[in-house]
Amino acid sequence: MGETILELKGIVKAFPGVLALGGIDFDLKSGEVHAICGENGAGKSTLMKVVCGVYPPDKGVIRVNGKEETFANPVEAYEKGVSIIFQETSLFEEMTVLDNMFLAHEITRKAGPLTVLDYAAMRQKAQDVFRRLAVDIDLNAIIKNLGMAQKQMVEIAKALTYEANIIIFDEPTASLTQREVDALFRIINQLKADGMGIVYISHRMEEIFQICDRVTVIRDGMYISTKDIQQTNKDELVADMVGRKVGNYYPKADTQIGDELLRVEHYYDEGFVSDVNFTLRKGEILGFAGLAGAGRTELMLSLCGHAKKAAGKVVLEGQEVHIRNYNDAMAHGIVYVSEDRGKYGLHVDMSVAHNITLPQLRNFRKGIFLSSKQEHDIGEQYISEVGIKAPSPEFMVKNLSGGNQQKVSVSKALAIKPKILVLDEPTRGVDVNAKSEIHKIISDLTLDGLTIIMVSSELPELLGMCDRIYVMKDGTIAKCFDRSEATQEKILSVALETAREEKEAAQ
Ligand SMILES: Nc1ncnc2c1ncn2[C@@H]1O[C@H](COP(=O)(O)OP(=O)(O)OP(=O)(O)O)[C@@H](O)[C@H]1O
Ligand SMILES: [Mg+2]
């Protein structure tokens, strides 16, 4: 490891009603990957936004490559060698890859008396960067047509066009598949070997132990510890993050599993879902595993009122049902919680309480009226039960940290108290402690007679929580495992099978 290239001393940042950072120290060396860990709302994203000039610090010193700096905006930070890949991507969706990469620092040339954009030079530089990263992305592609992983590669490439020597990743792997994570790690290792310094924010402990050299923990905006990764372990890190030991990560209750509640037969939907057959029993937590793109989200959306052109049979409590839209699904007691909070989930410009109570208002629109007192009380109840870090139920959702927004999304579904709750990646971006709290709530719901479908890419979560696990691939169900026989290896081998067959066929 080389010299210190980023140094933070006593960083303080307050928002109205929230002390986000109460005096944080941090340092990054060249050639190292330094993790920042902490619970949802601890201040990780805010700290890095202060470094990059998104927010000015209230107090404290930022030293970059030996010089004291306060950047007015992220472009200025980029120019001084600091780039950030945000938790939510910041690319312009309607523009091309190339335009995004050189936005605000276009290469120009003289053409007679005029200064014009030098597309040839920009193209050349972009290609050089992509070659260095060993990734292949069409420079003319429009961003909105790219997948999450490709968007992230574009952001990394953009950082490299600035000759950054400090790159900050804020939860880069939350929406990536395993293969994409491997590609990202290969790139991070290469950047590290080139002498860059990397700040790595993640809730995934395995990743931190796989890729990082040191780890700094913050809790409630306060500095707690910095450790060499070799000299610590998961339990110790979690204890630093939470302030106490967390024993049982998957607190599954023993539930009495009842009769068949839902049966899906030969179910098809336009696009991707084909010949799906499964059953769901009352009180069960039923898991759906599979690689990204296996069709799990498509299937759940289709069954929960977002079908395109479905065919097949859906039998609920012995009666065949036809669910045509979201309200039909609600009327049958089926609620879907999206993996994509923005698209199907939350109204970020509204309060926490309003988001939680909104579906009930929609459901009981006729004649039922929720007073602001009732709304406040319901909000308060979930803030305390699910552990949402918000100063009040009236707090705007957009001002919550990423993981706390996810908790609002889950609360909203819990408040409806449906018959069947379909959770798609319920704990993505949620810290380890809050995760086990959400798991406990999910598990307790089954004691109250609720039935749960859980889609997750985290196998330990499925293995820890589910009574049975279906594995999907290529839009259909490949296999079902009982809790007693399911293992990570067995599930992966089923999920990966097609990928391997395809590869062999291609050779
Ligand atoms: N613009 C804002 N206005 C008011 N409060 C804010 C704003 N941005 C962040 N906060 C608050 O600052 C605190 C720290 O948030 P931050 O986003 O840094 O957390 P985090 O550690 O990144 O959490 P997560 O793991 O959930 O992403 C939270 O309490 C959050 O609600
Ligand atoms: Mg964050």
pLDDT tens series, the chain, 507 aa? 689 999 999 999 999 888 999 999 999 999 999 999 999 899 999 999 999 999 999 999 999 999 999 999 988 998 899 998 887 777 888 999 999 999 888 888 988 888 899 999 999 999 988 888 778 889 999 998 887 778 888 888 888 888 789 999 998 887 777 777 888 899 899 999 999 999 999 988 889 999 999 999 999 899 999 999 999 998 899 889 988 666 666 777 777 889 999 999 999 998 789 999 999 999 999 999 987 778 898 999 999 988 888 899 999 999 999 998 888 898 899 988 876 665 557 888 999 999 988 876 654 444 556 678 888 988 999 898 888 889 999 999 999 988 888 889 888 888 887 899 999 888 877 888 778 888 888 888 888 889 999 999 888 889 999 999 999 998 999 999 999 999 988 998 888 775 555 555 555
How far is the C-alpha of 438 from the C-alpha of 459, rounded, in Å? 16
How far is the C-alpha of 357 from the C-alpha of 334, rounded, in Å? 17
End-to-end CA distance of the chain: 42
Correct CATH for 4-242 of 3.40.50.1370, 3.30.200.20, 2.60.40.10, 3.40.50.300: 3.40.50.300
Cβ atoms of 405 and 147 closer than 8 Å: no
* CATH (residue range 260-333+418-506): 3.40.50.300
Task: Write the single-letter amino acid at 59.
Answer: K
What sign results for the dihedral spanned by CA atoms 336, 340, 342, 343? negative
In the numeric block, the tokens 């210190």 are attached to 4
Which residue CA neighbors atom 1 of ligand 1 most closely?
399
Where, residue-wise, is CATH 3.40.50.300 in the chain? 4-242, 260-333+418-506
Structure token digits, residue 200: 């790595």
How far is the C-alpha of 301 from the C-alpha of 344, rounded, in Å? 10
Mutate to test the pocket of ligand 1, among 401, 408, 432 (most ligand atoms within 8 A of CB): 401
- Beta-carbon contacts of 416 under 8 Å, excluding residues fewer than 6 positions away, are 330, 335, 359, 360, 363
Measured in Å, residue 381 CA sits from the centre of ligand 1 at 21
Cross-strand partners of 267: 276
Measured in Å, residue 126 CA sits from the centre of ligand 1 at 34
Mutate to test the pocket of ligand 1, among 26, 400, 427, 430 (most ligand atoms within 8 A of CB): 400
pLDDT at 366: 45
In ligand 1, which atom is closest to the CA atom of 87?
A: 27
Which residue CA neighbors atom 3 of ligand 1 most closely?
399
Q: Which residues line ligand 1 (CB under 6 A)?
A: 15, 18, 20, 38, 40-46, 389, 399-404, 431
Cα 98 to Cα 105, 129, 148: the distances in Å are 12, 12, 17
Which residue CA neighbors atom 25 of ligand 1 most closely?
40
Measured in Å, residue 222 CA sits from the centre of ligand 1 at 13
How far is the C-alpha of 333 from the C-alpha of 131, rounded, in Å? 52
Orientation angle between helical segments 352-363 and 402-416, nearest 10 degrees: 30
Ligand nearest to the CA of 221: 1
pLDDT at 160: 83
Pairing of strands 59-64, 334-337: unpaired
Measured in Å, residue 504 CA sits from the centre of ligand 2 at 41
Measured in Å, residue 141 CA sits from the centre of ligand 2 at 29
Orientation angle between helical segments 372-382 and 352-363, nearest 10 degrees: 110
Task: Write the single-letter amino acid at 144.
Answer: K
pLDDT at 54: 93
Kindly state the DSSP code that residue 427 receives in the 8-state scheme. Answer: T
In ligand 1, which atom is closest to the CA atom of 49?
A: 18
Pairing of strands 4-15, 18-29: antiparallel
From the number of C-beta atoms within 10 Å of its C-beta (0-12, 13-18, 19+), residue 142 rates as middle
pLDDT at 341: 60
Which residue CA neighbors atom 10 of ligand 1 most closely?
399
Question: How many other β-carbons are positioned within 10 Å of the β-carbon of residue 231?
Answer: 9
Cβ atoms of 431 and 438 closer than 8 Å: no
Mutate to test the pocket of ligand 1, among 58, 217, 399 (most ligand atoms within 8 A of CB): 399
